Amino acid sequence: MVNTSSDIAIKASGLGMIYSPGLFQRKKVGLQSLDLEVPAGSIFGYLGQNGAGKTTTIKILTGLQFATSGQAWLFGVDVLRSESRRKIGFMPENPYFYEYLTAEEALDFYGKLSGMDRESRKRRTDELLSAFGLNHARKVNMRNYSKGMRQRLGLAQAMMHKPPLVILDEPMSGLDPMGRRDVRNAILRLRDNGQTVFFSSHILGDVEEICDRVCVLNLGKKVAEGPIASLLTNKVVEVALSFTGVPKEGHAESAKLAARSWHDGAQYHVLVSDEEKAQKVTAMLQSAGAVLRSMVPHKESLEEYFVRVTMSGGGAGPEYSRE
Amino acid sequence: MIIFTIALNTFREAVRDKILYVLLAFGGLLIVGSKAIGYVSFGQEYKIMADMGLAAIWMFSGMVSIFVGTGLIYKEIDKRTIYTILSKPAQRWQFLLGKYLGLALTTLVNMLVLSTAFLAYLWLSGGLVTVALLEALLMIFFEMLVVTAIAIFFSSASTPILSAIFTTIIFFFGQLTKWIVDLAGTLQASAATDEARERYRVIGGWLYKVYLLLPNLHTFNIRQEAVHAEPGVWIGAHELWYGTLWGLAYTAAVLLAAQLIFSRRNF
C-alpha cells in the first residue's frame, strides 16, 4: 500500500518515462522506476548530471509530461488531477514570461490563475516585488528584463499564492554570486514559513548548505537518497598541513607520503590522504626543525560524494534499442 | 475564471502586437480605396464600395485569424510560457478554450473597428447602411469563429508555417465546397460508358468525403445578396440561424479534436 498522506509533500512510486522520438529512432529512457518521498517542510535537493532525469521528474510532477509507468502524488493527490497543482508553485529552468507584460501584470495574471482574489493579488504583488528587488521595474515590459530579473520574477510567481510546496528547476543556474545568495535566502525563508522546497541544481555547494535531504540521479535512475549528513562519510578524506622553516632535505621525505606538496613563499604546504599520514609528516618535519602552522582535516563534501556515486552508480543508460 | 483569464491575456497579447495594427491599417486603406474604384463604375459606386468594403473586412479578419491563430499555441510551447500556466491548476482544455476565446475576442474587436470605419465611410459618402450589410458582417464574424478554431487546431499540433499553410488552404477551399459537390454530380452525369460512370462514382465518393470534412464556409457568404438588397430588407433568418448553428457545431468539433491532440502532448 502506497503512503500518500499529506505529511509527505511529494511521493513517487515506480515512476518511469520512456521517450519515443520517432518511428525509426531509438527510444530513450528519461526516468526509470523512481521511488521518492519528500517530507513536508523540508528543503530537498534533486541532483544529477545533464540528462539524468531531473527535469523529466519535475515536468511529470507539474503536469507538463505524462509518466509512461508508475504514479506520483503531491500531498496525496495524484499528479494527473489538476487539483494537485493547487498546492504547488513552480519555476521552470530559465523561465520565460510574456514579454508584452510588465512584472506587476504578470504576477496579477499568475495570481488569477491560482484563484486569488483581487485584493490578495495586489497585496502579494507589492510584497513580492519588494522582496525580490523588482519594485523599480514593476511597470517595465519583461522584454527589457535581464536574466537575473527574470529568474527573480520566476521565483516570485512561484510563491504568489503561498503554496505549501515550491518546485524549482535549476533556480541558481546562470546567476551571479549575489543572485545565488538571494535565491538561497528565499529558499530558506520558505522553509522557515513551513513550506516545502524541492529543487534541482548543479551548484552542489549551495545544495549542501541549505538542503535537509538530497536525491542523486544517474542516467534516469536513483543512485542515492537521504539526509545529507547520513550520506556523506564522516571519515577524513584529506588533511591539509602548513609549515614554516622546512629544511630542503625535509621536502623529499615528506613528498613520499604526500598526495601533493608545494611552496607558497615561506610556507610549505602538504596534502595527505588520512590522519595517520598527517601525523607522520608532522613528526618528520618537526624533527627537522619545521614549525607546524595549521592542520585542517577535510571530510567528504557533497560534490565529492556526488562524483563518487555518479561514477560508480548504475542507471538505465541514455537509450536502448527498440525491441 | 481560468478560461477568461487566459482569454483576456490572449487578447492583450494580440492588441500589443504590431501585426494587428498593420492588418487593420491595410484593411482601412482598402475600404477607403473602394471609393476610387466606385467612381469608375457609373451608377454602381455605392454597391462597389459596399462590395469592396465587405471583401476587405472578410479578407483582413481572415488574415488576423490565420496569422495570429496559427502561432498562438506553438509560441507558448516554443517560448516555454506554457510551463508556468499548465503547472497552475489550469486544465489543458481550459487553456485551449481560453486561447480560442481570446482570439475570437480579438477578431470581434478587429471586425468592429473595420466595420464601423466601413459603414461610417459608406454613409458619409452618401451610400445606404442596410440591415443586410449588418447581416453580412455578422456572418463574416461567424465564419471567422470557424477559421480561428481551425487555426488553433493546427497550432496545437504543428509549426506556425505549416499551420498557416493548412489553415489558408482550408480557408479558401472552404469557400468552394458547394462546387465540390456539384463537380461530383457533373462528372457522373457526363460519363459516357459504364466503366467511366463507375470511375466517376468512386471519384465522386471521395469528393463527397472531402466536402464533408471541409468547413462549408460558403454558407457564411451572403455578401453579394447583402450588397444588392433593398434598404430594410433582411436576407433571411434561416441563413443566420443555419450559419450560427452550423458554425458553432463545426467549431466545437474542431476544438474537441484539438483538445484530443493537446491533452496527450508532453511539453
Tens-digit pLDDT profile for residues A293-304 = 999 988 888 888
In whole angstroms, give the CA distance from residue A201 to residue A206: 9
The verdict on a CB contact (< 8 Å) between A95 and B91 is no
Does residue A2 belong to any structural domain of this protein?
no
Is the pLDDT at B237 greater than 90? The verdict is: no
Q: What percent of chain B has pLDDT over 90?
A: 42
Task: Output the domain CATH number for residue A163.
Answer: 3.40.50.300
Residue A315 has pLDDT above 70, yes or no: no
d(CA B193, CA B219): 35
Residues A159, A28, single domain; the answer is yes
Structure confidence by residue, pLDDT tens digits, A84-135: 999 999 999 988 899 899 999 999 999 999 999 999 999 999 999 998 889 9
Using CB atoms within 10 A of its CB, is residue A63 exposed (0-12), middle (13-18) or buried (19+)? buried
A3-20: b (≥16 Cβ within 10 Å) or e: ebeeebbbbbbebbbbbe
Facing residues of A44 across strands?
A198, A213
Pair (A160, A278) in one structural domain: no
CATH (domain of A270):
3.30.70.980
Query: Looking at the partner chain, which of A88, A97, A100 has a beta carbon nearest the beta carbon of B87?
Result: A88
- A217 shares its domain with A259: no
Smallest CA-to-CA distance from A12 within A58, A65, A52 is with: A58
Are residues A194 and A269 both part of a single domain? no
Average pLDDT over residues A54-75: 96
Residue-averaged pLDDT of chain A: 88
Whether residue A281 is found in the same domain as residue A257: yes
Terminal C-alpha separation, chain B: 24
The answer on A109 and A49 residing in a single domain is yes
List the single residue in A82, A113, A157 with the smallest CB-CB distance to B5. Answer: A113
- Name the residue among A15, A187, A153, A164 with its Cα closest to residue A88: A164
Asked if residue A141 and residue A19 are part of one domain, the reply reads yes
Give the A-side interface with B, CB within 8 Å.
59, 62-66, 82-83, 85-86, 88, 90-92, 94-98, 100-101, 109-110, 112-115, 154, 157
| Residues shown for chain A | 323
Contacts of A65 in chain B (CB under 8 A): 266-267
Question: Which residues partner with A270 through β-bridges?
Answer: A241, A261
pLDDT for the residue numbered B109? 93
Say if B9 is an interface residue toward chain A (CB within 8 Å).
Answer: yes
CB A137 within 8 A of CB A152: no
Closest CA to B135 of B119, B151, B113: B119
Q: Do B155 and B71 form a contact (C-beta atoms < 8 A)?
A: yes
Q: Per the structure, how many domains does chain A have?
A: 2
- Asked if the structure places residue A55 within a domain, the reply is yes
Residue A69, domain member (yes or no): yes
Predicted confidence band of residue A6 (pLDDT cuts 50, 70, 90): low
* Pair type for strands A260-264 and A43-48: unpaired
The whole-model pTM stands at 0.84
**Is A225 inside a domain boundary?**
yes
What is the distance in angstroms between the CA of the first residue and the CA of the last residue of chain A?
A: 32
B4-16 mean pLDDT: 93
Q: What is the mean pLDDT of residues B150-169?
A: 92
Q: For residue B186, what is its C-alpha cell?
A: 457533373
User: What average pLDDT score do residues B215-226 get?
Assistant: 87
Using the beta-carbon criterion (under 8 Å), do B266 and A82 form an inter-chain contact? no
Q: Which of A65, A85, A95 sits opposite B266 (nearest CB)?
A: A65
Cβ partners under 8 Å of residue B98, min gap 6:
B2, B3, B4, B5, B6, B7, B9, B10
Q: Which of B254, B260, B267 is nearest to B69 (CA)?
A: B254
Is the Cβ pair B89, A115 closer than 8 Å?
Answer: yes
- The fraction of chain B above a pLDDT of 70, given in percent, is 98
Sort out which chain B residues have CB atoms less than 8 A from A79's CB and list them: none
Q: CA–CA separation, A171 vs A166, rounded Å?
A: 11
> Inter-chain contact B1–A115, Cβ cutoff 8 Å?
yes
Assess whether A181 and A260 both reside in one domain. Answer: no
Residue A306 lies in a domain: no
Range of the domain at A274: 236-299
| Band of residue A314 on the pLDDT scale cut at 50, 70, 90 | low
Name the residue in chain A with its Cα closest to that of B2: A113
* Distance, CA of A305 to chain centre: 14
| Chain B residues within an 8 Å CB radius of A110 | 84, 88
User: Of all residues in chain A, what percent carry a pLDDT higher than 90?
Assistant: 56
Greatest distance between any 2 Cα atoms in chain A = 78
Predicted local confidence at residue A310, as pLDDT? 83
Q: What is the mean pLDDT of chain B?
A: 87
**In this complex, do B91 and A82 lie within 8 Å of one another by their Cβ atoms?**
yes
Does residue A304 lie within any of the structural domains?
Answer: no
DSSP 8-state assignment for residue A165: E
Are A82 and A98 found together in one domain?
yes
d(CA A240, CA A220): 37
Shared-domain flag, residues A281 and A150: no
Q: What is the Cα–Cα distance from A15 to B109, expressed in whole angstroms?
A: 47
Other beta carbons less than 10 A from residue B195's beta carbon: 9
Name the strand (E) or helix (H) holding A169. Answer: strand A165-169
B87/A62 touch (CB, cutoff 8 Å), yes or no: yes
pLDDT at B216: 86
**Residue A305 resides in a domain:** no
Q: How many residues does chain B have?
A: 267
- pLDDT > 90? residue A44: yes
Same domain for A42 and A136?
A: yes
More confident residue, A13 or A321: A13
- Among residues A240, A272, A227, A300, the alpha carbon closest in space to that of A38 is found at A227
Q: What is the mean pLDDT of residues B81-96?
A: 94
Q: Is A40 within the bounds of a domain? A: yes
Instruction: Pick the more confident residue, B185 or B110.
Output: B110
Rounded to an integer, the average pLDDT of B203-229 is 85
CA distance B255 to chain A (A): 20
| Cβ <8 Å between A64 and B17 | no
The answer to whether B261 contacts chain A (CB < 8 Å) is no
Query: Do A143 and A276 have their domain in common?
Result: no
- CB-nearest to B84 from A65, A95, A100 is A95
The Cα of B150 is separated from the nearest Cα of chain A by a number of Å equal to: 24
- Edge-to-edge strands, sheet with A69-74: A77-78, A69-74, A8-19, A27-39, A319-320
| pLDDT score, position A246 | 85
Residue B42: pLDDT band with limits 50, 70, 90: low
